[in-house]
Amino acid sequence: MKLLIVFNPNAAHGRAVRKLTAIRAKFESLGIQIEFKPTTHPGHGIDLVACTDLSGFDGLIAAGGDGTLFEVLNGLYRHPKSARIPLGLLPIGTGNAFARDLGLKPAAWSDAIDLLQTRRTREVDVGFVKSADRSFYFLNIVGMGFTVDAGKTAQKLKFFGNTAYTLATLWQVLKLKSYPLVADLDGRELRSDNIFITISNTRFTGTHFLIAPDAGIDDGLLDVTILENLPRHRLLRLFPTIYDGRHVQYKEISTHKVANIKIHSPSAMLLGPDGELTGRSPVEITCLHKDLTIFW
């Protein structure tokens, strides 16, 4: 078995690089051949994968957080489908939301290597985003509104580790604002004044938030979660319930399962896909059913 590993040395605010020696040793002990390609700047993972001949590898691994996985995924999709090899991950970043859907705890890179050794794979859905200024793919989630505002704050707080997203969310509660949106959900129009809207392919976001508890990664549908405008004190009551998915029981929350969604806003709004901040509304998001093979 030979794996290509795209490694982000700046993951987890630079703490990931300290694990490199132990990671190499673990692969060696299992007899797995590896080739590391470190990233040097934001977006580099896309170019590294796009410019690499993948034919000599049995798998492509994103070593970092959700942002690294996002770059590796989009680099993989620069190759024709026939040339795409199975995708896996080593969760060593600040946010490892997708790892939780694999049954891996945050930073459980050793368990992730054990999973890779089994060579077990499955086909999963991928989200495709066509925004006003760019197109891209995602595995986990795309957010707008409050979740993006919190994501921008979390980037400044990554030195706090796994608590960065929680602290960022609480800070944004103090600066609460709403956004009027028009959404087309598989042809059905929905107008509302929202705190946030998220489009999920998997269940988790951040490190511990169970944002879409009913999401299935291979059901051919995306789970839309919308929080309508509400008072700050009400949001503070709702916030803790996102850890276990009980927020969907609040009357201000609506959920929808769709194959395609189009979103318009009065002014361009920044998107937050998989730990990144890129793309602006208006946006169309489509579920590509079982379009990717991943290690599982």
| Residue-wise pLDDT tens digits, 70-109 | 999 999 999 999 999 999 999 988 778 899 888 888 778 9
Domains of the chain: 2-119 (3.40.50.10330), 131-291 (2.60.200.40)
Burial of 263 (0-12, 13-18, 19+ CB in 10 A): buried
Exposure pattern of 30-51 as b/e (b: 16+ CB <10 Å)? eebebebbbbeeeebbbebbee
Q: Coil, strand, or helix at residue 266?
A: coil
Which residues sit opposite 4 in a β-bridge? Answer: 35, 60
Low pLDDT (below 70) residues in the chain: 12-15, 157-162, 164-165, 174, 207
- Count the residues in the chain: 296
Torsion angles phi and psi, residue 282, rounded to 5:
-70, 155
Determine the pLDDT at residue 14.
64
- pTM of this structure: 0.91
Report whether 152 contacts 210 (CB < 8 A).
no
Determine the pLDDT at residue 196.
93
β-bridge pairing 87-91 and 188-200 = unpaired
Using alpha carbons only, give the angle 158, 43, 268 rounded to the nearest 5 degrees.
80
